[in-house]
């Protein structure tokens, strides 16, 4: 079965074959996306390393560790056996920490069905290789690019798990694959838009976490909304600059995957990157901040890989560079804002 054939099997259409979906990752976003696909009519099985979490999802349709107080749809179940979860799945969504993705996925390549479409829910750039997450998924699972999609947008997991309305972008080089994934997750509260700019959508998702760290650090130091607006606006410039250097579509950056996701991640107290930045700004060490935040704040590691990529391309990213200095090179947090404002004067659009 090809992606084009599966695309016509709308999961919510009476009499049509129901799509089977596997989600690798039982954290907040993986579990939430599983619920979204179940509400769209798919049968969904989640894989996680923690047997206790998997049992609770399967038996009680809850994941109190990551989504407290949320009741999951009956069509969502779970197992700690990754191969059993992947068997026969039409859609394989990957929601694991970006820097461990390759090591986790590579041994599972032969367990993925020949017709399956893979969906990257991850937001980062791989350290040492500068690979985007869709590239890591393709290489690790041996799936061609036209059967890979990425999902990104203003998608804070807890809000979506509570079925609050939001929109997202499903990007793929294949229209058939993008349409399949969009149909597999479309519901009354989750509105997917398709896009063929995989590079731009992925870079928006990776770099916005870094900008959210900068906003959190600034707010942790007691700085106000003027600073927040400045960092967000100039952060979008950095994201756009890097994306264009890699051939992305300029229209992606003011859209849902760009400005939309950036605003949500920088402003919400539910954003782990924003929260961790706040802890750093209030004087915690990085280890203390990671512990206090809980879960994975992708920007902590991906800030270095994003800066590595930008340096290779000769792209200036002063906010990203400052975050790396604060988190990994010992720059005092009080020097973050002065470092940014001390840059040479120039025209805004330069």
Known binding-site residues equal: 29, 49, 66, 123, 153, 157, 208, 261, 271-273, 298
Question: At what angle are helices 299-313 and 198-220 packed, to 10 degrees?
Answer: 120
Residue 84 to residue 70: CA distance in whole angstroms? 25
153, two tokens = 């947008």
Q: Is 346 a catalytic residue?
A: no
Per the CB < 8 A criterion, the answer to whether 130 and 305 are in contact is yes
Burial 184-201 (b: 16+ CB within 10 A, else e): bbbbeebebeebebbbbb
CA angle 106, 59, 111 (to 5 degrees): 20
- Report the sign of the C-alpha dihedral through residues 73, 79, 84, 86, in that order: positive
Residues of each annotated binding site for sn-glycerol 3-phosphate: 123, 153, 208, 261, 271-273
- Cα separations in angstroms, 116 against 30, 135, 200, 251, 274: 18, 16, 24, 30, 35
Per the CB < 8 A criterion, the answer to whether 183 and 7 are in contact is yes
Residue 31 to residue 341: CA distance in whole angstroms? 41
Which of 52, 208, 325, 346 is the catalytic position? Answer: 208
Per the CB < 8 A criterion, the answer to whether 285 and 332 are in contact is no
Residues of each annotated binding site for NADPH: 29, 49, 66, 123, 157, 272, 298
- Cα separations in angstroms, 178 against 32, 67, 89, 257: 20, 28, 17, 15
Residue 191 to residue 193: CA distance in whole angstroms? 7
Residue 207 to residue 214: CA distance in whole angstroms? 11
Task: Write out the catalytic residue numbers.
Answer: 208
């Amino acid at each position: 079965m090809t992606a084009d054939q599966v695309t016509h099997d709308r999961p919510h259409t009476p009499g049509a074959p129901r799509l089977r979906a596997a989600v690798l990752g039982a954290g907040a976003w993986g579990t939430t996306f599983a619920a979204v696909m179940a509400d769209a009519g798919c049968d969904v099985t989640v894989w996680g390393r923690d047997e206790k979490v998997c049992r609770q999802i399967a038996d009680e349709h809850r994941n109190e560790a990551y989504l407290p107080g949320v009741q999951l749809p009956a069509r969502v179940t779970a197992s700690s056996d990754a191969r059993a979860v992947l068997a026969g799945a039409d859609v394989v969504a990957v929601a694991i920490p970006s820097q461990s993705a390759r090591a986790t996925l590579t041994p599972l390549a032969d367990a993925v069905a020949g017709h399956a479409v893979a969906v990257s829910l991850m937001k980062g750039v791989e350290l040492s290789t500068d690979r985007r997450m869709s590239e890591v998924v393709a290489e690790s699972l041996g799936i061609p690019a036209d059967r890979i999609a990425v999902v990104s947008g203003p998608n804070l997991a807890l809000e979506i798990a509570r079925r609050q309305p939001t929109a997202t972008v499903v990007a793929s080089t294949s229209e058939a694959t993008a349409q399949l994934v969009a149909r597999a997750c479309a519901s009354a509260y989750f509105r997917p838009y398709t896009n063929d700019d995989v590079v731009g959508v992925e870079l928006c998702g990776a770099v916005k976490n870094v900008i959210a760290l900068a906003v959190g650090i600034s707010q942790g130091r007691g700085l106000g909304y003027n600073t927040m607006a400045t960092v967000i606006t100039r952060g979008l410039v950095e994201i756009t600059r890097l994306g264009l250097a890699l051939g992305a579509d300029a229209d992606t950056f003011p859209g849902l995957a760009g400005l939309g996701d950036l605003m949500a991640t920088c402003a919400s107290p539910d954003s782990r990157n924003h929260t961790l930045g706040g802890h750093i700004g209030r004087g915690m060490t990085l280890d203390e901040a990671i512990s206090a935040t809980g879960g994975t704040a992708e920007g902590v590691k991906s800030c270095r890989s994003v800066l590595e990529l930008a340096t290779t391309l000769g792209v200036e990213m002063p906010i990203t560079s400052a975050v790396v200095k604060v988190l990994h090179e010992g720059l005092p947090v009080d020097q973050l804002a002065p470092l940014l404002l001390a840059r040479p004067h120039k025209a805004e659009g330069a």
